Structure 1
Amino acid sequence: MNRERLPYELEASWKEKDMAGGETVDAQVLIMRTNGCCWAKAGNGGCTMCGYRSASLTGVTEEDLNKQIDLALSKYKGEPFVKIYTSGSFFDTNEIPESIRERIFSEYSGCKRILVESRPEFLTSNLVSTLPGTLTVALGMESSDEEVLRTCINKGFTAAQSKAAGELLKDGGIGVRTYLLLKPPYLTESRAIDGAVESARFADPFSDEISINPLNVQHATVVERLWKRGEFRSPWIWSLIEVMKRLSGTVNSRIMSSPSGGGSQRGVHNCGKCDHDALAAIERFSFTQDPKDLEVQCECKSTWERYMQSERLLGTADDLGRAFGSDLMIR
């Protein structure tokens, strides 16, 4: 039996490593239960890949949010980096009222770095002028291709809006982490790689960090329906490595990735034999930025190359491995 999800409890919390002040540090990560993403609740279905609506509730009060902060503080052990996620936007006052935002910034004022997420429409010059200099705002731009944003992701804003928000934050002395989605639905593997590289180059001037996020198939989403029908395959880890190799040394932003569901059929994966080593290489590179750390060997790399050739010849983004098996892909 599933336990009742209570509005005064955190959705999740854990500790991980990240960068602050040029050093690898411990980070406290919190996912707060809020009243949910305004875009997902607007009646248009929300983003095609996003399952975080399940982390939101209705009727979450300021008292509930304060209790969540109390719980977070009881778990806090002085980590210099704190990441605070909601199911939508930190600066949407329907999710995080101004009083809660101010309390969070006050309670964690001793941190070297705080990270939150927001859609660009909530970021104004007046707001930015009030933000602490230790803050980094993560912008889920996903792609610089407006057609991909509109038809593949249903993002509800444009790359130009993300750029304007990033420039506003940078001008205000606030850090910017830009999220890019590797392999939105309906794209072939090779087009997804090219798109991620192009999007990173677009985002570089207004970003401090660029996080390449391979699509993870989440429950009750458009992408899950496609995946169950064999019309979508989560990206190969080789594709993520290829994006990082192409970007390494060519952009000023830190290039990073922390894949959700890595090594599973729903997440970024290779053959299964090399997944652990390949994901470990990506984690190392995310901290060192040394392309030598991306060197991984496995015979399935040739299968990945044939897979992309087959996609191009057949003109499809369907899961060819599931449909035909690797033996039927072009050699």
Structure 2
Amino acid sequence: MSPPDHAPYPDAPADRDRWILERRPPRNPLDPRRPYAFLVESEPGPSGGPAVDVATIFLTNRECPWRCLMCDLWRDTLEETVPPGAIAEQTRYALDRMPGLVPERSELKLYNAGSFFDPRAIPPSEYPGVARLAAPFRGTIVECHPSALGRRALEFRDLLGKPLEVAMGLETVHPEVLERLNKRLTLDGFRRASRFLAEHGMSLRVFILVRPPWLTEAEGLEWAKRSLDFAFDCGAAVCSLIPTRGGNGAMEALAASGDYAPPSLASLEAATEYGLSLGAGRVFADLWGVEAIPRCPSCSAARVERLRVMNATQQAPPPVACPDCG
């Protein structure tokens, strides 16, 4: 039986886990020996350098143990650990299907809908095989929950012998909202994880939500800006701004109770422009699923294009003027 939509969001973490799990739609069927997606992206290089191709592989693996309120990535995960050799096989499969990619001028991004250094998701026995496949690339990017960093990250870094960047979800520096996101993360914990990366020669990429639940449009923008300040103060080289989206059941329940609404394109633009104005590192607006953001027929296409230009050039073009939405 489906839970009643009016059931309030709980206060206790264990109760939140159950509340989130009860509202989940089915997960997608996946082959444990194939990545669920892969593509080649382009990112401007550090310090205004030339654009770099990024071979991005979305690895199929066991679901993350954290039950973050806003997460929909679990839909492309498994309920068990992959068989031996599967992660290297997925990586090779994707790279073999990226014609024209020149690894020596590219980076490899391995995202696994969770934490690369969670041994139940990516068994450490996979590290040598993945490192051999990553060897021709300029550098490698993985994602990880701050609390999962440790000796396994150092082991993988040493096997690579080339730059390793770790992407971590900060989400928001609003202390009450961060706690309610059920991420089991504090700002002090995030700062400690950032110091660990810096002390061991790994760079930091940060995910930030634009307008998480329980914030108005204006508050969502203000806290996105504060989160950018905090991330760069922690030494981030890159910040990725993610418009908070639905699609996992829990967010739809919060929308029904009036506790969540997606940000506007204008807020995503303003947050991106603010981040670029800091001059502290690269800033990208995540445009995956951007069509789900409420749209103004008069200006949405122009706003999306402006965001694409900001992503590609790290410069803010003149703002979009709209007589209908302002």
Distance 1:198 1:75, change over 3 A: same
Distance 1:300 1:125, change over 3 A: farther
Secondary structure class of the residue paired with 1:72: helix
1:55 Cα offset (Å): 1.0
**Ranges in structure 2 where 5+ consecutive residues have no aligned partner:** 1-26
Amino acid at match of 1:260: W
* TM-score (norm. length: structure 2): 0.81
Secondary structure class of the residue paired with 1:23: coil
Secondary structure class of the residue paired with 2:242: strand
2:165 aligned with 1:136? yes
Distance 1:56 1:4, change over 3 A: closer
Distance 1:130 1:62, change over 3 A: closer
How many residues align? The count is: 289
Alpha-carbon contact 1:17-1:25 (below 8 Å) kept: yes
Q: Name 2:323's counterpart in structure 1.
A: 299
Distance 1:38 1:4, change over 3 A: closer
Deviations 1:153-177 (A, max 9, x none): 2111112211111122123221211
Deviations 1:217-239 (A, max 9, x none): 1233x112223566532110101
Q: Which has the higher contact order (CA 8 A, sep 6+)?
A: 2
CA distance in 2, matches of 1:129, 1:34: 20
Q: Name 1:145's counterpart in structure 2.
A: 174
Q: Name 1:213's counterpart in structure 2.
A: 242
Q: Name 1:13's counterpart in structure 2.
A: 38
Deviates more, 1:120-129 or 1:100-109: 120-129
2:188 aligned with 1:160? yes
* TM-score (norm. length: structure 1): 0.80
The one of 71, 74, 85 aligned to 1:50: 71
2:96 aligned with 1:74? yes
Secondary structure class of the residue paired with 1:248: helix
Amino acid at match of 1:111: F
CA distance in 2, matches of 1:176, 1:246: 19
The one of 48, 51, 58 aligned to 1:31: 58
CA distance in 2, matches of 1:272, 1:54: 31
Q: Name 1:65's counterpart in structure 2.
A: 87
Amino acid at match of 2:137: C
Alpha-carbon contact 1:128-1:169 (below 8 Å) kept: no
Alpha-carbon contact 2:41-2:53 (below 8 Å) kept: yes
Q: Name 1:127's counterpart in structure 2.
A: 153
Secondary structure class of the residue paired with 2:94: helix
CA distance in 2, matches of 1:51, 1:201: 26
Deviations 1:233-261 (A, max 9, x none): 21101011122333333241222212221
Deviations 1:161-201 (A, max 9, x none): 11111122123221211111011111111111110111111
1:288 Cα offset (Å): 2.2
1:96 Cα offset (Å): 0.7
